[in-house]
Amino acid sequence: MKKRVYESAVLFNAALDDEAIKNVISRIKETITVNGGEILETEDWGRKRLAYQVKRSKIGYYVIIRFNSQTDLIPKLERSYQLDENILRYLTIALTKDALEQIEFDKSQQSKLAELVEEIIPVPLPAEEDEEETTVKEE
């Protein structure tokens, strides 16, 4: 069987603390790797306000995982999503060649934009305090 590149977007219950979310993410990654998949990238978007309530939640925690695997992994992965009560929604799609190229293009544009912003607005270095300026003058 040929391996394909997949992207899985997972929406967690934002009421969980950060440690619990990290544990669920690591279980997802473990499920992928144990079943012959290879994690390519993980994007942690964090907590976001939802456009509408999902299972009575107004805020969700988003994570995007891109991975290589064979097609037989996807039903196993989605079954683990269904059984986890901390996962509100999920969507797993197969990425096309065009989609992968667009993702790489977007990353390069973001890095160029970050460099441009840094040139325009230089990040100040931590200033060293002079002892003379901090002393109070007595009259």
pLDDT digits (tens, 9 = 90+) for 40-85: 999 998 888 888 888 888 888 999 999 999 888 999 999 999 998 8
pLDDT digits (tens, 9 = 90+) for 96-107: 888 888 888 888
The domain 4-98 is placed in CATH, from the list 3.40.50.2000, 3.30.70.60, 3.30.70.980, 3.40.800.10, at 3.30.70.60
CA distances to 10, 70, 91, 108 from 84, rounded to whole Å, are 11, 23, 14, 35
Amino acid at 79: R
Residue 70 CA to residue 5 CA, distance in Å, equals 9
Higher pLDDT, 124 or 133: 124
Q: Which pLDDT does position 106 carry in this prediction? A: 84
Q: Are 12 and 26 in contact (CB under 8 A)?
A: no
Q: Which pLDDT does position 64 carry in this prediction? A: 94
Q: Which pLDDT does position 111 carry in this prediction? A: 78
Rg (CA), the chain: 22
Q: Where are the domains of the chain?
A: 4-98
Of residues 24, 29, 4, the one with CA closest to residue 12: 24
